[in-house]
């Protein structure tokens, strides 16, 4: 039997491999189409989001990073299907904990999740070079490689699993490789503002980074409508 080459990043059950669509990314990060064309953009942790596939089509140069990449498309498809099923089952039990203005109901939310991963899988199978298996807080890119880095539904969301140093190291790393970093949401899974937001911002400012909170046109966890923008002002 041929030696198997396991992905050096374990597929983690701790962080669910679900992804949003391009349209949802535009809401999460308040992105205008004119923010994208001609820009070099990093999506990290990208998961099976379809942002990379669609933004590339409209003229952005996008690279996606996630530790789960690097596996066959069939394996990723199984992971995506399982993750969406689990997510929808949980949502069905907790509908009153979310704001449904954007989606209407759980079924429609499911359509967004499936359409994101189907688009992702099609792009991943044809353009695997856009999808880099790597993990924060260490990115395999030169400094200032990107104009913009987007990080959705990873930092601050899992603050019960990732500590303050991980958040700081990850944000410094994102700011090293990109001129501007946008992070959403700033709340953990219980919809409370992450306890790390203020210490992270204070520390980054003391190191000379620029930080700004900006309201975005998206609310799914109640009251969670702000993104953090970090710029490397050094």
Ligand X SMILES: C[S@@+](CC[C@H](N)C(=O)[O-])C[C@H]1O[C@@H](n2cnc3c(N)ncnc32)[C@H](O)[C@@H]1O
Phi (first) and psi of residue 211, to 5 degrees:
-135, 145
Tell me the helix, strand and coil percentages in the chain, rounded to 5: 40, 20, 45
Q: Which is nearer to ligand X, 202 or 217 (CB)?
A: 217
Q: Which is nearer to ligand X, 47 or 70 (CB)?
A: 47
Interface residue with ligand X, options 55, 67, 80, 106 (CB under 6 A)? 67
Q: Which is nearer to ligand X, 44 or 201 (CB)?
A: 44
Smallest gap from Cβ 23 to ligand X, in A, equals 12
Q: Helix (H) and strand (E) counts for the chain?
A: 6, 7
> Does 84 interact with ligand X (rule: CB under 6 A)?
no
- Element holding 40 (H helix, E strand): strand 40-44
Please list every residue from 149 through 178 that binds ligand X, using CB under 6 A: 152-154
> Does 47 interact with ligand X (rule: CB under 6 A)?
yes
> Does 70 interact with ligand X (rule: CB under 6 A)?
no
Taking CB under 6 A as the binding criterion, the range among 42-50, 93-101, 199-207, 217-225 that sits at the site for ligand X is 42-50
Number of residues that bind ligand X (CB under 6 A): 20
The sign of the CA dihedral 34, 37, 39, 43 is positive
Does residue 62 sit in helix, strand or coil? strand
Nearest in space to 27 (alpha carbons), one of 175, 232, 224: 224
Report helix angle 73-93 to 106-126, nearest 10.
Answer: 170
> Does 46 interact with ligand X (rule: CB under 6 A)?
yes
> Does 135 interact with ligand X (rule: CB under 6 A)?
yes
Q: Which residues bind ligand X (CB under 6 A)?
A: 12, 15-20, 44-47, 49, 66-68, 135-136, 152-154
């Amino acid at each position: 039997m041929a030696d198997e080459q396991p992905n050096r990043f374990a597929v983690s059950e701790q962080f669910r491999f679900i992804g949003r669509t391009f349209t949802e990314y535009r809401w999460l990060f308040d992105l205008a189409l004119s923010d994208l064309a001609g820009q070099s953009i990093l999506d990290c942790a990208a998961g099976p989001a379809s942002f990379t596939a669609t933004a590339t089509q409209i003229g952005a140069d996008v690279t996606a990073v996630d530790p789960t990449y690097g596996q066959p498309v069939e394996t990723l498809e199984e992971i995506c299907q399982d993750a969406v099923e689990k997510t929808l089952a949980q949502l069905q039990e907790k509908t009153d904990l979310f704001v449904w203005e954007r989606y209407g109901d759980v079924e429609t939310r499911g359509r967004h999740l499936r359409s994101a991963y189907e688009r992702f899988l099609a792009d991943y199978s044809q353009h695997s070079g856009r999808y880099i298996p790597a993990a924060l807080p260490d990115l395999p890119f030169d400094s200032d490689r990107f104009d913009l880095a987007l990080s959705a539904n990873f930092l601050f969301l899992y603050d019960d699993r990732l500590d303050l140093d991980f958040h700081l190291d990850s944000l410094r790393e994102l700011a090293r490789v990109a001129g501007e970093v946008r992070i959403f949401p700033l709340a953990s899974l219980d919809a409370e503002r992450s306890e790390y937001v203020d210490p992270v911002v204070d520390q980054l400012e003391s190191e000379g980074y620029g930080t700004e909170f900006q309201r975005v046109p998206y609310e799914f966890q109640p009251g969670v409508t702000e993104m953090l923008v970090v710029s490397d002002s050094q």
